Structure formats: C-alpha cells, structure tokens
Amino acid sequence: MSHTEPTDAYPEPMAFGRRGGAVGRRPSLTRLLGDGSRSVSFEFFPPKDADAEDVLWGALFQLEELDPSFVSITYGAGGTTRDRTVDITSSIQRRTTLTTIAHLTCVGSSRDELHDVIDEYAAAGIENVLALRGDPAGGLGTAWVAHADGLNHAVELVELLRERGGFCVGVAAFPNGHPESTSLDQDARVLADKQRAGAEFAITQFFFRSADWFRLRDRAAAAGCDMPIIPGIMPLTSVTQIERFARLSGVEFPAEVAARFEGIEDDPVAVRERGVEIATELCAELLEGGAPGLHFYTLNRSTATREVYRNLMSNPHLIRH
C-alpha cells in the first residue's frame, strides 16, 4: 500500500467509528463499539508536570481533529496517578468533544479505596472504565501480592464496576499471553470470564505481528468470548525505547522487525519513518483481517500516530464498512 502523505481527495473516514458529535452530545461507547463500524482510539498517560501537560494537550488537540471514537487515560501503579487521571479525564470531557475512558487497577488498593475511585469517576461524569489488575508493585517478574482487603484479579474489578452500575467496562487482552498465564488457551478463558463478568470490549497490549492478534481472536472465540478485541498499536519511533517497553511488558521484539532497523539505528528521522511504515503495514493487515478497530499508544505525542492514520486513510479499501 502507499505510504505517501494524504491529499484533500481522500475519502471521509466514517468507517472508523467517528462520533460526529459536539461537546455534551457524546454517544455511548457501547453504541460506538456495537454499531459495526471500526473504532480508532488513542491512549495517553497523566503528565508529571506543567511542561508535560502542555505536550499532552498539544497532542490531544491535534488528534481531536481526527475525530477518534475515544481516548483513554492510564492509571499509575498503586494509584500513583489517581488524582491526575481523574483530573485529566474530566478536563478532557470539559474542554474537548472527545469520549474518554479512564483506567483503573487493583494494585495497592482496598475494596473501599476502589469504591472511592469509582465514585470519583462517576461524579466527574466518566462513564467508561478500563478495568485492569495491574502489574505487581515490584515490576514484571515479581510475585503479585494483593492488598489485604483488595482484589486479586481483573474479573473481580469488572464485577465491582458492574455492581456500582452506570459504566461501560473494558478489559485488557494479551496477544502473546499474560506473563502469569499457564498457557495461551488459559489466557483466552480468562478473557471469556471477564466478558461473562460484564466486560463489553477488550484492548490488547501492543504487539508486532498481525498473526498474534488473529490467533488471539480465534482462541477467544473458541473460549466463548465474542466481544470486540481492539488491537493495541505502538508506532516505533525509537528502537531502544521499544526494546525497553518490550522487556518491561514481556512482549517479544521479533528479530524480523529488528532487522528492518539495521543500519539506521543512529538516524532518528530514518528510524521514525521506518517505524511509521511498519505500524502502517501492521494496521493494514489487521483491518484487512477484520479487526474491529485500532487503539494507538501515543506516549503523549501525536506525529507518528497521525502519519499512520493518514497512511491508512489513503487506502479507501481499508476504511470501508
């Protein structure tokens, strides 16, 4: 497919679940994900300081122009960004037309504390929550230790949110398997359990090969899970950064992908261009294969994500219903 810059002649990308609404008229995420169109969404993390907040808002306003289906805001381990997650998510709803999803994890929180956060979300008008167990407090590879009065599994958090009512609940999925799963099939059964508990959609951890998502989709279907599983995409803009993220998350950085950066590792412009090319190819393969949408991990930047999006818009075949 072409990787050239788009022109004004490109078709209007309505097949990507565009909301077409204004402030105060956000459609429900349940409807957006259930109407048969493909979603496109972006993930951000709460900024640590004023300068980082300026960068975040710059990226948000630029990506808002693409009219995404939703944006999601992460939640730090042990609730370390709890207040910032609530503040930023509610601010996005006040200052933009964007539909938002707030993350919530079990790490370091009692049931009462989780109830408090859920009530804060509800009071802020947040209607969509991504329910995650979260990584162990000691990092990947260390033992998971739940709070003495807390939850052990994401499925319990889904149930807690459903008991509270009023939320559209999403969960995580893992194309390469959760690090603590005994097998890929067992991992798919857990995903099906989350749906039975009340989850309405899943967003995957980032991955590098479309075949990994297709196999996850098939395993999930065999386990009785039929909710949308949205692929998580992280455009490669720095080889060392992606290798670090892959190690931290337990995701394999395939040799065939690494090989495409050989000889250009010290050229940031060439690396970013190659990363956009690879991400575009991955997204195209996923859409061709029936993926229900795309969720971009932006790292609070917009340029690479916008370029991938525009590349996809240049191919009318990919964006049809």
- Strands 293-297 and 168-173 come out as unpaired
Predicted local confidence at residue 7, as pLDDT: 32
- The residues, ordered by sequence, that sit 6+ positions from 25 with a Cβ below 8 Å of its Cβ are none
DSSP state of 238: -
Q: Which pLDDT score, from 0 to 100, does residue 184 have?
A: 94
User: Which residues are annotated as catalytic?
Assistant: 43
Neighbours of 8 (CB within 10 A): 4
Residues near 198 by beta carbon (within 8 Å), at least 6 away in sequence: 158, 159, 161, 162, 169
**pTM (predicted TM-score):** 0.87
Beta bridge partners of 73: 44, 102
Q: What is the pLDDT of residue 138?
A: 62
Domains and CATH numbers, the chain: 14-319 (3.20.20.220)
> Rg of the Cα trace of the chain?
19
Contact 294, 287 (CB under 8 A): yes
Instruction: State the pLDDT at residue 8.
Output: 33
User: In this structure, which amino acid lies at residue 140?
Assistant: L
Q: Which residues pair with 171 in a beta bridge?
A: 131, 202
Q: How far apart are CA 279 and CA 281, in angstroms?
A: 5
- Determine contact, residues 216/188, Cβ cutoff 8 Å: yes
Q: What is the pLDDT of residue 12?
A: 35
Mean pLDDT for each 10-residue chunk of the chain (321 residues)? 32 43 58 81 89 92 91 72 80 88 86 90 89 74 71 91 91 90 92 96 95 97 96 90 75 87 91 94 95 93 91 72 34
